[in-house]
Amino acid sequence: MSQKTERDILAIIGRTNAGKSSLLNLLSGQENFAIVDPTPGTTTDTVVTLIEIHGIGPCKILDTAGVDEYSELGDKKRKKTYQAIDEADLSLIMINVEKVRQANDLEIEKELIHYLRYKGKQVLLLLNDFGKIPLNPALINEADNFQELLNQVNGELGIPSIILHANDFSYQSQLVDFIKNNYINRAKPVDLLPSLNDKGIVLLIVPMDEETPELRLLRPQEMAVERLLRNYIVPVLFRLNLAKARNSDPLLVNEEYERYTNLVNHLKKSPEGLQLIITDSQAFDIIPKWTPDDVSFTSFSIMMANYMSHGNLEFMVEGVQVVDSIVPGDKILIAESCNHDRKCDDIGTVQIPRIFEKKIAGKLNFDFNFGSPFPEDLKQYKLIIHCGSCMIDQQKYLNRIETARQTNIPFTNYGLFLAYMQNKEVIKKAVKPFIQ
């Protein structure tokens, strides 16, 4: 039996004359690949093209007919476009910004998004500005009706978008990066714990505090346990008593140290062997120094950051290094994807600010964004520190990362920040299971 080549299928959809065929040419890097013409309705049927997109792999691109032709023939064309959407892994909605601005509506795009979401399909927005609006999204006038319309359509959904000129080949690499960074290839899902052997024990450190819900584990802990069990790896859960481990009484510290190290040594010597320790990031001040050098460790938060960002961990590791250049008075955004009860030593509002201000020996300006839409004006921040983001979909999280990347604002996560604040060896070791 011949082996089918796995190709990612991308559909370019939108209104007539939005620049869909021009986009295909831009993706393929060839000017006359598809017919491009100012006559609306130039593409009359879905055109299939096979190309290799660097960083994504072999792709099948479906250049489709515009969905805004209202006639008997238009209905037939629209039907074909919707079939292309059904087939595609990812739809790129091409929007002619000028046209939308004149018509003052994005109803057609709304309808497409509605259909895509109903079908559980991925979508990205490409804003083709026809060279008439500033390219930097931050420079678009807030009173601009297009921006307003886009917010109405996209505000809640958080669909990643990019502004480009579809007929300008200098945008090719930006376009490819944008797709690469935001497309979650479901055919090649990111492994939650990619470097594990199919054998051995993984020790999960679950400190539990006042915020820990009763009768269940947190989602990242549950996800790790499920991943391990599915692969016949033995999860061992250990409740570290942080109050004891950090106590001023050395006897209590020693008691906890012995309890932990006895278990670690026992697991190490067992026939299965100890492959990895995954700790709650809050215990990064304890676990690295109590763990033998030959045992790998990471944290649930770093595991989630890698998984939710679809392997974009390196961007966040770069982000955390900005900590060294932060000075008193700088503005820092601390963001969590859900809101929850906050107890006295809350990680986002208390621990991270305290550790950060101690390091720089001065006061910082913190903004907190918990469970609400991501702030639009990111330029005011020197650094964004985000939680593991287990409660929102990957696309929304990727959009946050992409927005930070496009605005050049360093972005990192709680686990990376806490590991980095210990020392550079700790972060190096903690990211190793994900970045080889």
Ligand X SMILES: Nc1nc2c(ncn2[C@@H]2O[C@H](COP(=O)(O)OP(=O)(O)OP(=O)(O)O)[C@@H](O)[C@H]2O)c(=O)[nH]1
Q: Where do contacts with ligand SF4 occur on this chain (CB under 6 A)? A: 336-338, 387-391
Closer residue to Mg ion in complex, CB, 43/154: 43
Q: How far is the CB of 37 from Mg ion (least distance, A)?
A: 8
Among residues 21, 281, 282, 412, the one that binds ligand X under rule CB under 6 A: 21
**Cβ-proximal residue to ligand SF4, closest one:** 387
CA–CA separation, 130 and 167 (whole Å) = 8
Q: Closest CB to ligand SF4 among 63 and 280? A: 280
Dist. CA 322–CA 416, nearest whole Å: 12
Does residue 82 belong to the site contacting ligand X (CB under 6 A)?
A: no
Query: Hey, which residues does 127 pair with through a beta bridge?
Result: 95, 163
Contacting range for ligand X; rule: CB under 6 A; set: 11-19, 230-238, 242-250, 292-300: 11-19
42 binds ligand X, rule: CB under 6 A? yes
Q: For ligand X, give the closer residue by CB, 20 or 227.
A: 20
If one asks whether residue 130 binds ligand X (CB under 6 A), the answer comes out as: yes
In angstroms, what is the minimal distance from the CB of 17 to ligand X? 4
Residues 274-293 that bind ligand X (CB under 6 A): none
38 sits near ligand X (criterion: CB under 6 A): yes
Report if residue 45 touches ligand X, rule: CB under 6 A: no
* The residue type at 373: P
Q: How many residues bind ligand X (CB under 6 A)?
A: 22
Residue 129 or 330 with smaller CB distance to ligand X: 129
Q: Where along the sequence are the contacts to Mg ion (CB under 5 A)?
A: 20-21, 42-43
When the beta carbons of 166 and 419 are compared against ligand SF4, the nearer one is: 419
Which residue matches tokens 């944008």? 178
Q: 68-89 as b/e, with b when 16 or more CB fall inside 10 Å?
A: bbeeeebeebbeebbebbeebb
The owner of tokens 């998004």 is 113
Non-local (6+) Cβ contacts of 235 within 8 A are 201, 202, 204, 224, 225, 228, 229
29 contributes a contact to ligand X by CB under 6 A = no
CA distance 433 to 276: 9
The helix/strand/coil state of 365 is: strand
- In whole angstroms, the minimum distance from the beta carbon of 52 to Mg ion comes to 22
Burial tier of 14 (Cβ tally within 10 Å: 0-12, 13-18, 19+): buried
Minimum CB–partner distance for residue 75 and Mg ion (Å): 18
Tell me the C-alpha distance between 53 and 89, whole Å.
Answer: 15
* Position 77 contacts ligand X (CB under 6 A): no
Minimum CB–partner distance for residue 359 and ligand SF4 (Å): 23
Rank residues 22 and 369 by Cβ distance to Mg ion and give the closer one.
22
Residue 341's CB is within 10 A of a number of other CB atoms, namely 8
> Are the C-beta atoms of residues 205 and 287 closer than 8 Å to each other?
yes
Binding partner of residue 52 among Mg ion, ligand X, ligand SF4, none, CB under 5 to 8 Å per kind? none
The helix (run of H) or strand (run of E) holding residue 10 is strand 8-14
Which lies closer to Mg ion via its Cβ, residue 69 or residue 376?
69
SS3 102: helix
Is 36 an interacting residue with respect to ligand X (CB under 6 A)?
yes
Looking at the Cβ atoms of 66 and 415, the one nearer to ligand X is 66
Among 16, 221, 279, 413, binds ligand X (CB under 6 A): 16
As a three-state string, the secondary structure of 54-94 is CCCEEEEEEECCCCCCCCHHHHHHHHHHHHHHHHCCEEEEE
Q: Is 166 in the site for ligand X (CB under 6 A)?
A: yes
Residues that bind ligand X (CB under 6 A): 16-22, 36-38, 40-43, 65-66, 128, 130-131, 165-167
